[in-house]
Amino acid sequence: MPEGSPELIQRLNEICGREFVLTHPHELATYRSDGLLHYRQVPVAAVLPADTAQVAQVVRACYEAGVPFVARGSGTGLSGGALPAPDGVVIGLSRMRRILSVDLPNQRVTVQPGVTNLAVSHAVAPTHFYPPDPSSQIVCSIGGNVAENSGGAHCFKYGFTTNYIQALEVVLPDGSLVTFDRDAPGYDLLGAFVGSEGTLGVACEITLRVIPAPESVRTLLAFFADTGSAGDAVTAIVDAGIVPGAIEMMDQLSIGAAEQSTGAGYRLDAGAALLVEVDGPAEECDPLVSQLTEMCESAGAFEVRAAADEAERDLIWRTRKAAFASMGRISPAYYVQDGVIPRTRLAEVLRQIDGLAADYRLRVANVFHAGDGNLHPLVCYDDRVAGEAARAEELAGLIIKACVDAGGSITGEHGVGVDKKAYMPSMFAEEDLATFQRLRCAFDPDGLANPGKVMPTPRLCGEVPGPYRQHPLERAGVAERF
Amino acid sequence: MTAFDLRRPPEQDVIDDCVHCGFCLDACPTYALWGMEADSPRGRIVLIGDALAPDAQMSDQLVTHLDRCLGCMACVTACPSGVKYDRLIERARPQVERHHRRPVAERALRRLLYATLPHPARLRILKPFIGLGRRHRVRALMPTSLRTLTDVAPRASGGAAPSLPERTPAVGEQRGRVGLLLGCVQRVFYADVHRATIDVLAAEGFEVLAPPRLGCCGALELHGGAEDAAIGRARQTIEAFAALGVDRVVVNAAGCGSAMKGFGELLGDERARVFSAKVCDISELLASITPRAPRGPLALRVAYHDACHLAHAQGVRTQPRALLRSIPELELLEVSTEPGMCCGSAGIYNLVQPQAAAELGERKARNLLATGADAIAAGNPGCAAQLDLHLRRLGRPLPIRHPIELLAESIAAT
Amino acid sequence: MSAATSLVPETFAQAAAALRAAGAEGQRVRIVGAATKSRWGRADAPSDVELHTGALDSILAHNAGDMTATLQAGVPLADAQEAFAQAGQMLSLDPPIAGAGDVLGGLRGATIGGIVATADSGPLAHRYGGPRDLIVGATIALADGTVAKSGGTVIKNVAGYDIAKLMAGSFGTLGLLLSVNMRLHPRPERTATVVGLTDNARTLQQAAHALATAPAELEALDVGWRDGRGRLLAQVAGPRSEPRGVRLAGELRNAGLEQVELLVDGGSELWDAQRRAQRSSTHATVRVAARASELASLVATVQRCDGSLVGRAARGHSWLTLAPASIAQLRSELPAGATATVQDLPGEGAREDPWGPVQPALLDLTRRLKLRFDPTGTCNPGIFVGGI
């Protein structure tokens, strides 16, 4: 494994202090993966800056040394977005976890990027909350949420991270500092940055919009014989013009795994569980409970429960949120997917997935955000059995293809990262990818910010005023100047 | 050849259970302090797993990050995949002791600690010197580690040491016969807790047998990685209680209860497993019976502190609370900020990692004070000493009692 | 400044080819929708060719079940809303669609392309944000003839870069919007509007704050100030709008507002008036972004400048109408961190920079972006910030 240049390491030591610049292979090993264990890459150094000024200096040092860098929040991402670049530096934002200000009259909170998603809601409770709520919110960082434009269970009604960012203070890939404000005239650079997966710079100070917490929250859990009938219930609900705060579905396999972790009492004999949560003013919300119960029963639910109090509601959600991580209990290994399909094609695509799983003789558990068609098929396999991992990967690819063919997307909230970049050409033509690259080059002409992510093939940026320098990839004939 | 030897190495199967989800980061006190992946359970699992690989070497860095682990097991509670991290760290520590040469001062300190703490007789001799060691002029002359030792040592309560008879008969009709571990630190510094335990058990109809010659159960050594010593003490403990023919073996120190429930795993034989199955915390026993002795009122606002080895290691949370709630007029308060976070005592941790322990101790003290309680209930002597130290340092000392002491008071009040 | 040539492409291919040709010839293209906002930005920037989107006016898709629609850039918003209404849906975007002076540019008013390009919005922005919050994908044409798409037709999608957001508010300077994919919402059957008055700016601000922070799930929360008199309007939607409206009316009274009225399934004239007040043919209109807690001070400034104001109280977006000569004074009195962009400005002739000061680092990045997307300076050159 290559080592970082001594000069760069020395500079990093000067900026952050020796104890926050890690170069020992054992310590670097802890940064080699994010939430996807099957991607590993050890960086040449991992740096943990304390504040924006240090981040800017670190990035500047990397820029001047021509060394790529990858920003990392809590390392819980599911697309390999924080996978280190070979020969690169990991910039860990986990020490920058202060909530800088809470301004409830203006309904804004400013945080450092290492603050966890849940901490934001806690800071403004009970009158307000921060809507984007990924299942990993207890640990995932706001910085990471910005990078991926995270959604979560409540995004069908409330929207995504990009709808809740008011301003960003960003360190650009050359180390300069710039502030994006949603309301400032000019290009929506803030909109371009959110969801750019760390390839346009490092967000160091994030101003979030929070909204009043709903007056009433009613949570129902309905059990069906199969996902088809659960899907019918969803259709009935959405067609009636109801916009639930969340509609989540789990299939039998995922129910079984999650129940082992939480013991919340989900029906293990159900083919599907549907979690429907409505929230809002009490006058609107409370009458919906009986209406929703009826709709579920008409669609075939054999049991419908309404949470009686906060503790019950919490337990219902905990099972859903533990679903992914609990898969370890029923399978030695699994691939997590994140396909999106138009909601109207849900039943059809689920049947397709079932068929594919049978063909491949592999189990596929399903957890998904039924309201917006975001599926999380979990392709289970045993990596100790020869060839099974490869088959599982193939099956995973076919599932994604089915989603795209149905008019959907390869990723609803986890991001492209390194895991899905090979599928980008199935969604985007060459002209589309080339246009993405224009944006990327405006921010990062030298390709130092999280290279190797999002775009399927290495690309260079075209002419920049100044002397022409041939890039090593060009010399190697691996990339073309475009 | 891996970095570990073949004597009870950490298990690859346990390592493989980790899916790297990171939920443990939120629960880990050292991650809360430093924000460094290698000081999180997830990171330590990587370190231990890599050390199992062929040609792996033990490094100072590996040892440092494992040493910094409190062994609090909050991560075990938090983990959705059920990773038994406790097994990993418990098996990794002896490997470190066997294959890593610590700096001379550190080795001396550890030797001193293992030579004194598990030995009640030696502790009694040292007790007065601890008070001396707290005086300013003496303190200034002491090396840092000894200073820490005197700082975190429990404050001796005034008054005569209570009698702890070898056999106490049940009051009224006997409904069971239990053994009580007197142990080491608890017996010397918190003998009142044992007195209260014996009184309550007797009042509830249990004959109590407390073998006086049986010393430390080996928890400190087990959690610190001194595996051979721990195994020896485990055998002694099992031996001592085997002769007595008791239904249950009752413990009133969280760390000891946790260690003793683990003897089956540690020794791997049937006798040890049978023994471990008999072990219970005093609150567990009381929660499983219909109370007999009437409780009198104790008008106190009490904040309950979850000792890690009770809550996380043994899953004992509701029973101590039920015990406290059974006391009329006692108001039970819950810590709302970082409720599951370790106080930093963690066995010998606050002696070998004083800075981290001090930060955690202060944090926990503040969180307890925020409840507005008049008193703290804690089921572990190490926690009691740590909380006492840090509440005093904040200028806000509060009485700290074992829940059983409050119950004994309540029963006596009738 | 009228251009020599007018192009009206009927297909995406034609539009792209037209752009490419212009780019190759070094011609400056001005993109025109319904011309309702053609005087915004640096309107005096010269151009050689006008490219009209009028013939790109088809609704390409309306996926009612999935709540999305694909509209060509030239589709008038009013037409789109009519089509959506038939399926019980709406696009939650309600900017004024007439031009300055209430003139309906074209016959049907503002096009979706122009609304997105200028990031215009109306009272529904309180809950739903601006065009950038409702756009899920776009197809664009670049000056070199590239036709590219980004996003998709599903609400939830993070694949690739969000070029659609970049296009929103870009005033056509990065490329030509060919079509946009928008997220729809159910059209409510019942609504309730409450309105209250006051002549105390602080009372107005506090009332707005009370409603903004209440769990009332408002569709819109607007304020207005004219001739020393302020008003607060709020709207809710849903089957139980009436009882919710009653509660809101109570809140307004508690907050000290007078002449509080509740209009069940009504109030559209009030909301139309708010939208109309965002435009002017006789005065300058300045779009100000400030904090909600700065409303009272903004009102004081407006009074001193002899102007009037409407806006989204919680979002902090206000439209100030005042004499052009007072713009400088307004800028000098703005609270720190607030921005002001001149939109309507009566009269012809040379104009000052309407955009206001921009961070140098930001301007630098803006220029780099422009250079990457439109190196030949073909698309709407000169009308944007920094003279871009």
Does domain A99-212 sit in CATH 2.60.40.10?
no
Same domain, C302 and C368: no
CATH number for the domain that contains residue C7: 3.30.465.10
List chains adjacent to chain C, taking adjacency as at least 3 C-beta pairs closer than 8 Å.
A
User: What pLDDT sits at residue C102?
Assistant: 72
Name the residue among A66, A75, A60 with its Cα closest to residue A44: A66
User: What's the mean pLDDT in A433-456?
Assistant: 97
Nearest to A27 among B20, B40, B61 (CB): B61
User: What pLDDT sits at residue C84?
Assistant: 98
Q: Where are the domains of chain B?
A: 12-99, 104-152, 167-287, 300-412
Q: What is the mean pLDDT of chain C?
A: 95
- Amino acid in position B365: A
* C370 pLDDT above the threshold of 50: yes
H-state helical runs in chain C: 12-24, 77-85, 112-118, 125-128, 131-134, 163-167, 201-212, 241-254, 268-276, 295-304, 327-333, 360-373
For residue C67, is it within any domain? Answer: yes
Specify the fold of B167-287.
Rossmann fold (3.40.50)
Q: Report yes or no: C137 and C159 within 8 Å, Cβ to Cβ.
A: no
For residue C348, is it within any domain? Answer: no
Where, residue-wise, is CATH 3.30.465.10 in chain A? 99-212
Same domain, C161 and C212: no
Q: Which residue of A has its CA nearest to B37?
A: A30
Same domain, C204 and C158: no
What pTM was computed for the model?
0.94
Nearest chain A Cα distance for residue B336, angstroms = 12
Same domain, C69 and C171: yes
Testing the interface with A: which of C149, C161, C362 to mutate, by most A Cβ within 10 A? C161
What is the ipTM metric for this complex? 0.96
CATH number for the domain that contains residue C220: 3.40.462.10
Where, residue-wise, is CATH 3.40.462.10 in chain A? 216-405
pLDDT tens figures, B331-383: 999 999 999 999 999 988 999 999 999 999 999 999 999 999 999 999 999 99
Q: How confident is the model at residue B133 (pLDDT cuts 50, 70, 90)?
A: confident
Contacts of C174 in chain A (CB under 8 A): 187
Specify the fold of B300-412.
Rossmann fold (3.40.50)
For residue C39, is it within any domain? Answer: yes
CB-based contact A328 B82, cutoff 8 Å: yes
Same domain, C221 and C336: yes
pLDDT tens figures, C233-284: 999 999 999 999 999 999 999 999 999 999 999 999 999 999 999 999 999 9
CB-based contact B35 A94, cutoff 8 Å: yes
Touching chains B and C? (3+ Cβ pairs < 8 A) = no
Nearest chain A Cα distance for residue C9, angstroms = 21
Q: How confident is the model at residue A473 (pLDDT cuts 50, 70, 90)?
A: low
Number of domains in chain C: 2
For residue C199, is it within any domain? Answer: yes
Choice among A66-70, B328-332, C2-6, C189-193 with the minimum mean pLDDT: C2-6
pLDDT tens figures, C153-178: 999 999 999 999 999 999 999 999 99
Q: Which residue of C has its CA nearest to A345?
A: C66
The answer to whether B56 contacts chain A (CB < 8 Å) is: no
* C99 pLDDT above the threshold of 70: yes
Q: Which long-range contacts (CB under 8 A, 24 or more apart) does C268-274 make?
A: C270/C193, C270/C195, C270/C233, C271/C94, C271/C122, C271/C123, C271/C193, C271/C220, C271/C222, C271/C233, C271/C235, C273/C224, C274/C122, C274/C123, C274/C222, C274/C224, C274/C233, C274/C310
For residue C134, is it within any domain? Answer: yes
Same domain, C228 and C324: yes
User: What pLDDT sits at residue A325?
Assistant: 77
Same domain, C131 and C229: no
For residue C349, is it within any domain? Answer: no
Same domain, C155 and C235: no
Which tokens go with A318? Answer: 């905990």
Residue bearing tokens 């010839």: C25
Q: Do domains B12-99 and B167-287 have the same CATH topology?
A: no
Residues 6-35 of B with CB under 8 A from A: 16-23, 25-26, 31, 34-35
Q: For residue C133, give its domain range.
A: 1-187+357-388
For residue C82, is it within any domain? Answer: yes
Does domain A6-92 sit in CATH 3.40.640.10?
no
Nearest to A35 among B20, B43, B83 (CB): B20
The answer to whether B100 contacts chain A (CB < 8 Å) is: no
Contacts of B45 in chain A (CB under 8 A): none
Q: Report yes or no: A455 and A433 within 8 Å, Cβ to Cβ.
A: yes
CB-based contact A428 C149, cutoff 8 Å: yes
* B199 pLDDT above the threshold of 60: yes
Which has more confidence, C104 or C70? C70
Specify the fold of B12-99.
Fumarate Reductase Iron-sulfur Protein; Chain B, domain 2 (1.10.1060)
CB-based contact B22 A136, cutoff 8 Å: yes
pLDDT tens figures, A164-200: 999 999 999 999 999 999 999 999 999 999 999 999 9
pLDDT tens figures, B172-187: 999 999 999 999 989 9
Same domain, C233 and C320: yes
Which tokens go with A297? Answer: 């029963």
Q: How confident is the model at residue A330 (pLDDT cuts 50, 70, 90)?
A: confident
Nearest to C365 among A148, A178, A428 (CB): A178
Q: Which residue of C has its CA nearest to A189?
A: C166
Measured CB to CB, residues of chain A less than 8 Å from chain B are: 22, 24, 26-27, 29-37, 46, 48, 74-76, 92, 94-95, 97, 114, 116, 136, 138-140, 260-261, 322, 324-329, 332
Nearest chain B Cα distance for residue A448, angstroms = 23
CB-based contact A22 B38, cutoff 8 Å: yes
- Pick one of 3.40.462.10, 1.20.1440.20, 3.40.50.20, 3.40.50.720 as the CATH number of A216-405: 3.40.462.10
For residue C50, is it within any domain? Answer: yes
Same domain, C336 and C322: yes
E-strand stretches of B220-363: 248-251, 279-281, 300-305, 330-333
